[in-house]
Structure 1
Amino acid sequence: MEKEIHFERAEFDQRVSAVKKEMSKRGIDVILLSEPANGNYLTGYDAYSFYVPQMVMVALDHEEPIWIGRGMDRISALMTTYLADANIRSFPDAYVHSALSPYAYVAEVVKEIVGESARIGIEMAGYYYSARAHADLVEALPEATFIDADLLVNWIRLIKSPAEITLMRQAGQIADAMMQRAIDFIEPGVRECDIAAEVYHQMMKGTPDFGGTYSCAPPHLCVGERALAPHAHFTDKPLAASTIVNLELFGNRLRYQVNLARTIVVGKPSPQYQKLADVVVEGVNAGLGAVRPGVTSEQVHAAFANTLAKHGFEKDSRLGYSIGLGYPPAVGEKTVSLRKGDKTVLQAGMCFHMMSGLWLKNDGITITQSFAVTEDGHEPLSQLARKLFIK
C-alpha cells in the first residue's frame, strides 16, 4: 500500500514531543484531540471522515499517538499516517448514528492505555467535540479527571516548520490563480454562481506544478448591497453594469490554506471609493512594514489603525488572525489575533491573514494579504497586486 505522508517522520516526532512536554507541564496523562487539524498535525491523517466521532489520542507513556475512528476509515489511517497498525483503532459501524456511543469505545482505549483514573485533556471548545460527546466520556470514565486542554496543540502549531512554509507558499500560488481567474471572468451580465464555478474549478486544478483541494469555507462572493456584509453567499443573479464585487477565497494545498480577498469594481468607481481603496492599501503596507520578530500583534495592528485614522477611518473588527493547517468550518488557528490588546510576540514561522476588509455604513471593501513572519520581516504568501481591480 502506497503511503501518502507529506512530512518526514522526524518532524512528526518533534510535534508529538512538543505536545507531550506541554501535557506534562499541565499534569495531563492523556489528551483526546477531536479537531481534525490537530489530528492531522500529529499523525498525517487526512480523510473527510470527521462528521462522525473521531479522535487522536496522545499519552505521555505511549510512544506514538493512537488514531480512533470509524471502521471504514481505517484504510485511510493506514494510507495517510505513519502509525503502527496497533495504534489504529476503529469502532464497528453499529456505533454510527445509533443509540451506541462511539465515546464508550474511546473510553475503552483510554482504560487500556492509561487506566481508569487518568487525568484526561479534552478540547472543550472544539468544533467537533459536542456536549453529548463530553457527557458520554464522563459517564464511561467516572474515575477520570477531565481537564480543559483546548488550543494546547493549536499554540504549538503556531510556528510553522520550513516544510510547512513551503506548503503555505504553494497554497498562496493556488489562491493567486483562483483570484486571477475570477478577475478575468468578471464582467457585466455574468452570473454570480458562474464566477463561483470558475473559482472552484481553479481551486481544485491548482497550478501546473501541483493541485489543490477543498477549502475550509466556501468563497465569500459579496456583490452590490451584499458587499456591506463580510460573509454573504453568492446567488444566481447576473452582475449589473456598475457594481462592487468583494471576493474572499482560499487556496488550499494538502490542508494548508492561504486566504486572499480583493475588491473588483464593475464599471467606474467613484472618486471617494477609489480613495477608500488607496487608504486600505496604505494601511496594509504600513501594517506589513511593522512585521518582524519581537514586535507584538497589537503593534502591527496599531501601524494599520494609525494609518486609517489619519484619513478618518476606523476598523471595528480585528485586523487578522493566524492561519495554517485547517479543515472546515474555518482555517483560523484560534490563537493569535492582530488586534489591540493582543500582546503575543511575533516569531519567525508564524503565518497570518491580514484581513484588512472594511465594512462601513455605505461601503464595503476587501484588499487583504496573507504573510509569514521571517527572521527580518515578512514574506507575502500571495503575490497578486494589492489594489482595486476595475473591469
Structure 2
Amino acid sequence: MEKILYFERTEFDSRLATTKHEMAKRGLDILLLSEPPNVNYLTGYDSYTFYTPQMLIVALNRSEPIYVTRLVDRPSAQIFTYLAEENIRGFPDFYVNSTTSSAWAFIADVVKEVGGETARIGVELGGYYYSARTHADLVKALPNAEFLDADLLVNWIRIVKSPAELTLMRQAGRIADAMLTRAVEMAEPGVRECDLAAAVYHQQHSGLPEFGGSYDSSIPYFCVGDRARGPHSAWTDRPLPDSTQINIEVHGNRLRYQVHVSRTICIGKPTPEYTKFAEIQIEGLNAALETVRPGRACSEVFAAFSKVLAKHGIVKTERIGYSQGIGYPPAGSERTVSIREDEQTVLQPGMCLHLMPGLWLDNGTRSVAVTQPLEITQTGYAPLTTTPRVLVVKK
C-alpha cells in the first residue's frame, strides 16, 4: 500500500516532540485531539471523515500516537499517516449515529489501554469537533481520570511554520492570486453570481499548471450590492447589475494549507467619495504592513492602522488580522493570534497572517475589503499573494 505523506518523518517527529514537551509542562499524561487540523499536523492524516467521531490519542509514554476512526475509514489512515498498523484503530459501523452505543466509549477503551484510567487527560474543550456529548461520554467511561482543558495546545505550536510548510503556504497564495484574477475577469454585468462563484471554485480546485488545489475550509465570500454590508455572505443566482460593488474573499488551498485574500471589485465607475474611502483603507493596510516585523506585538500593528484611520475620523474596533495555516471546515484561522488593540502576542519568523482590515461603516452602508496575507520573515514580512492592493474598477 502506497503511503502519501507531504513531509519527512523527521518533521512529524519534531512536531510530536514539541507537543509532548508542552504536555509535560502542563502535567498531562494523555492528550486527546479531535480537531482535524491538529490531527493532520501531527500525523499527516487527510480524509473527509471528521463528521463522525475520530480521535488522536497522544500519550507521553508511547513513541507514536494512536488514531481511532470509523472502521471503513481505517484504510485512509493507513495511506495518509506514518503510524504503525497497531496504532490505527477502527470502530464498527454500528456506532455511527447510534442512539444506544457511543463511539466515544470505544475510544475510551483505547485510552484505558495506554494507561488512561487514572491519568490527567487534556481535551479540546473549545474545539469545533469536541461536543458536549463527546465530553460527557468520555467522562462517564473514564470516571477516575482527571480531564483538563488543553484547547489550542497544538494550535499555538502550529503558528510557527517550518520551511516545508512555508513552501505550501506560498503555493496556496499563488492559487489565491489565480482565483482573484479569475473573479475579476469574470465579473461583468449580466453574469450570474453563481456562475462567478463556479469559475472561482474551478480555479481553486484546478490550481496552477505546476500543482493542483483543493477544497477550502468554508466558502469563498461573495458580498454583492446590499450584501456587501457584511463580510461573510454567499452568492445567489442573480445577474450582476450594470453598477454594483463586490467584496470577495477567496481561499487558496494547497494540501490543506490555506491562504485568504480579499478584494473589492466595482462594476461601473465608483463615486469620488467612495474612491477616497477605499484609498484610506488601503493606506491603513500599507501602514500596518510597514510595522510588521519580528519582535513587534500584534497591538503595534493594529495601532499603525488605527493611526491612519484616526486622521479621517474613522474608528475600527474589530481585529484586523489572524493567523492561518492548515485549513479544515468550518474555519481557516488557527484560533490563536489576532491583530487587535489589546493583543500582546509577539510576531515571530515563520508565522503566517491574513492582514484583513476591511471597513464596514455606517451600519455597513460603506464597506471596502482590500487585504494582504503574509509570512513573517527574519527582517519583516513577505507577501503570500502578489495581486495589487488597489480598488478594482471594471467600467
Displacement of 1:188: 0.7
Is it true that 1:43 corresponds to 2:43 in the alignment? yes
Displacement of 1:277: 1.2
Counterpart Cα distance in 1 of 2:52 and 2:27: 29
Counterpart Cα distance in 2 of 1:132 and 1:256: 30
Displacement of 1:324: 0.4
Q: Deviations over 1:270-296 (max 9, x none)?
A: 001111111111111111110111000
Residue matched to 1:380: 383
Residue matched to 1:271: 272
Counterpart Cα distance in 2 of 1:115 and 1:96: 24
Residue matched to 1:342: 343
Runs of 4+, deviation exceeding 6 Å: none
Q: Point out the more displaced range, 301-310 or 368-377.
A: 301-310
Q: Deviations over 1:143-180 (max 9, x none)?
A: 10000000000000010001000000000000000010
Counterpart Cα distance in 2 of 1:387 and 1:314: 21
SS in 2 for 1:335: strand
Counterpart Cα distance in 2 of 1:65 and 1:327: 21
Residue matched to 2:31: 31
Displacement of 1:298: 0.4
Residue matched to 2:289: 288
Whichever residue aligns with residue 7 of structure 1, its letter is F
Whichever residue aligns with residue 64 of structure 1, its letter is E
Q: How does 1:144-293 map to 2 (within 5 A)?
A: 144-293=145-294
Counterpart Cα distance in 2 of 1:326 and 1:185: 26
Counterpart Cα distance in 2 of 1:224 and 1:342: 33
SS in 1 for 2:328: coil
Residue matched to 1:13: 13
Whichever residue aligns with residue 308 of structure 1, its letter is L
Residue matched to 2:371: 368
Q: How does 1:308-327 map to 2 (within 5 A)?
A: 308-327=309-328
Whichever residue aligns with residue 46 of structure 1, its letter is D
Whichever residue aligns with residue 377 of structure 1, its letter is G
Whichever residue aligns with residue 387 of structure 2, its letter is L
**8 Å Cα contact 2:30/2:116 also seen in 1:** no
Counterpart Cα distance in 1 of 2:303 and 2:311: 12
Q: Deviations over 1:107-149 (max 9, x none)?
A: 1001001241011100001000000000000000001000000
The count of residues paired between Structure 1 and Structure 2 equals: 391
**8 Å Cα contact 2:71/2:90 also seen in 1:** yes
Is it true that 1:299 corresponds to 2:300 in the alignment? yes
Whichever residue aligns with residue 84 of structure 1, its letter is A
Displacement of 1:191: 0.7
Segments of structure 2 that go 5 or more residues without pairing to the other structure are none
Q: Deviations over 1:76-99 (max 9, x none)?
A: 000000000011011011110112
Residue matched to 1:72: 72
Displacement of 1:316: 2.6
Residue matched to 1:90: 90
Counterpart Cα distance in 2 of 1:156 and 1:150: 12
Displacement of 1:310: 1.2
SS in 2 for 1:323: strand
- Structure 1 residues 65 and 240 mapped into 2: Cα distance closer, same or farther (>3 Å)? same
Q: Deviations over 1:293-338 (max 9, x none)?
A: 1000000111111111112222231010000012000011111100
- RMSD over aligned Cα atoms: 0.7
**8 Å Cα contact 2:268/2:393 also seen in 1:** yes
Displacement of 1:59: 0.3
Residue matched to 1:107: 108
Residue matched to 2:3: 3
